[in-house]
Structure 1
Amino acid sequence: MSQQVNSSIKPSNDKFVLTNKCENTGMSFPMHHHSEYEFYYVLEGEGRLFLDNAIYTVVPGLLCLFSPHNGHSVRIPANIPYRRITLNFSKFYLPKTPLLTNHAHFKPIVLSENDRLTFCRLCSEYTAASYQLNAPEDLKIALISDILSMFLPTTEICQNSSPVLSQIQVYVHHHTHAKLSCNEIADAMHYSARQLNRIFAETSGETLYQYIARAKVSRIQELLTQGFSPAYISEELGYSSPASLTRFFKSEVSLTPREWLGKYEQGS
């Protein structure tokens, strides 16, 4: 499907890409995830966003942050104009961005009119400066930090960053098998399970078990949308049987894998 790209900045070395796109109507992106982080902002359009095990309404002003493990899909009905801005950036920036380390799980939000103007201004300023200054790292980090701050309900920001959090996220992302547990991660990272759970909860706002469960569900959903059967997925991810996989999935999503896939395919 054709696209009209209004502006695109694609440095070759540090995986920091700001793109403004106007796309054809009737867009449908299958469930997928990126190897990098992504800000996704809707300038114009209406539809549905499937993120992890939730469905959100796509409207102008919607701002999302997708982590590398976040399976997501967007559906825009025919005859609906659709414009979006995306900013993809590498985990290279995580140690220098305390906001992301301390608030790792962001739910999609709809920006106020003032914040929408601010968001577009920040992107425009970055675009203009990058052409003149070859996008210095400080400018990139400042842009990420400014956008992240829009997710916070107040201006009070915790500054006690923990690099352990990003290490846990990477480990979980690459080990979404059935038996993955807090104890396994603790052993791999040379922490006690109790200590690791405390660090994760303090820096992310959710328990490690909740994060592991979300990552497993996201991986199952990704494989379902790629056409794989529950029987294949259960074997691929190390579940003892399709029934075992179904029990886990339903306990988290309140739907069986086939029921969830049916709703996903119907777009409702």
Structure 2
Amino acid sequence: MKPIRKHFDAQPSFPFAFTFKDRKTLQRELPDHLHDWFELVYVYSGEGTFFIDRTIYDMNKGDLFIIPGNTIHRAFPDKEDPVTSTALFFHPMLLDRISLGESFSYMACFEQSRMSHRFKMECSSVLQQSIERALDEVESELRAAQAGYRHAIVLHVEQLLLAVNREIGGERKRKAGSAFIGPSWMKDSLLYIDQHFTEAISLSKLSQMASVSPAHFSRVFKQSTGMNVTAFITVKRIVKAKELLIEKDDTIAVLAEACGFESMPYFHRVFKQIVGMTPSAYRHRS
């Protein structure tokens, strides 16, 4: 299974989407998905697991998941006690502001998550109240849609991110929310893939390194991530290709090879399947 592209209907002038207090079930949860927008997921109740990038997390009341753009992720709600959560999606341009003479950035928490590969924050009771209050206000503004409601929503999002960044940077450091759920060999395998995805990696090699049978490895990997090994590696390569298309001036063929693709037709085909446009169109748009 390849991840789907989450589609946002928001207008370009207001790159924002919101899902409020949604009760997740396995039937209603999206497959693995990938998008350019940044995402916050706050858990009100219920249980489940959340696969993000290369880590599997528990989902519990008061957890906040901070997901940068172009990060593969999928939630697995518990069958008996499914998660109720709010998801907030936005493009960074929503928060474009002058610096005001400070180095502070609302997006700092996303950058820290990306750099540390730690996407879960176990919120203090005070922060939980701040987050829930801000999300309630966003829902109220969206529902009423009075004059200036978009400006009000941006202010509430900024207020939420300010509280999150202050908690991360203050005395209450982020708790060990990165604790991996699952067998240690799965953690090691995901880390190995993350560090070597541009190379040739086979199921037989991974299962041998993990000291389990290929069938067992494949089954647990699919249960944990929602994808088979080949699809997962392909997605990691596409994410890297998107990054290089923006940052580098090399030809698309050179970048595709650098990401581990040996066939240009195959690269173009899977890039369009996952991203929704050709590599050249993505580079031009960005």
What is the TM-score normalised by the length of structure 1?
A: 0.53
Alignment-derived partner of residue 18 in structure 2: 18
Residue 128 (str. 1) matches residue 129 (str. 2): no
Cα distance in structure 1, aligned partners of 2:213 and 2:105: 38
Cα distance in structure 2, aligned partners of 1:265 and 1:69: 20
> Which structure 2 residues correspond to residues 167-178 of structure 1 after superposition, within 5 A?
none
Conserved? CA contact 1:26–1:80, under 8 Å: no
CA separation of 1:117 and 1:262: change in aligned 2, threshold 3 A: same
Alignment-derived partner of residue 76 in structure 1: 77
Conserved? CA contact 2:49–2:58, under 8 Å: yes
Cα distance in structure 1, aligned partners of 2:198 and 2:23: 39
CA separation of 1:56 and 1:261: change in aligned 2, threshold 3 A: farther
Q: Report the more deviating stretch, 98-107 or 73-82.
A: 98-107
Shift of 1:102: 7.2
Shift of 1:51: 0.9
CA separation of 1:126 and 1:30: change in aligned 2, threshold 3 A: closer
Conserved? CA contact 2:52–2:74, under 8 Å: yes
State how many pairs are aligned.
Answer: 179
Conserved? CA contact 2:25–2:78, under 8 Å: yes
Alignment-derived partner of residue 91 in structure 1: 92
Cα distance in structure 2, aligned partners of 1:103 and 1:69: 12
CA separation of 1:109 and 1:24: change in aligned 2, threshold 3 A: closer
**What SS class does the counterpart of residue 93 from structure 2 fall into?**
helix
Conserved? CA contact 1:95–1:101, under 8 Å: no
CA separation of 1:116 and 1:262: change in aligned 2, threshold 3 A: same
Aligned Cα RMSD in Å? Answer: 4.0
User: Structure 2: where are the runs of 5+ without partners?
Assistant: 1-8, 98-103, 114-118, 172-189, 226-286
**What SS class does the counterpart of residue 70 from structure 1 fall into?**
coil
Alignment-derived partner of residue 163 in structure 1: none
Conserved? CA contact 1:40–1:87, under 8 Å: yes
1:155-207: per-residue Cα shift (whole Å, max 9, x none)?
59xxxxxxxxxxxxxxxxxxxxxxxxxxxxxxxxxxxxxxxxxxxxxxxxxxx
Shift of 1:74: 0.8
1:226-246: per-residue Cα shift (whole Å, max 9, x none)?
xxxxxxxx9xx864x446xx6
> Which structure 2 residues correspond to residues 143-162 of structure 1 after superposition, within 5 A?
143-148=156-161, 149-151=163-165, 152-155=167-170
Aligned partner letter, 2:89: N
Shift of 1:117: 1.9
Alignment-derived partner of residue 214 in structure 1: none
The share of aligned pairs that are identical, in percent, is 19
CA separation of 1:70 and 1:259: change in aligned 2, threshold 3 A: farther
Conserved? CA contact 2:39–2:90, under 8 Å: yes
1:31-81: per-residue Cα shift (whole Å, max 9, x none)?
222221111111121011111111110111111121122111111121223
Conserved? CA contact 1:99–1:145, under 8 Å: yes
Conserved? CA contact 2:50–2:56, under 8 Å: yes
Aligned partner letter, 1:125: E
Conserved? CA contact 2:68–2:110, under 8 Å: no
Shift of 1:83: 1.3
Alignment-derived partner of residue 212 in structure 1: none
Cα distance in structure 1, aligned partners of 2:90 and 2:79: 30
**What SS class does the counterpart of residue 131 from structure 2 fall into?**
helix
Cα distance in structure 1, aligned partners of 2:111 and 2:22: 29
Cα distance in structure 2, aligned partners of 1:16 and 1:122: 15
**What SS class does the counterpart of residue 130 from structure 2 fall into?**
helix
Conserved? CA contact 2:43–2:85, under 8 Å: yes
Shift of 1:140: 3.7
Q: Report the more deviating stretch, 83-92 or 73-82.
A: 73-82
1:85-105: per-residue Cα shift (whole Å, max 9, x none)?
011111313543822157513
Conserved? CA contact 2:130–2:160, under 8 Å: no
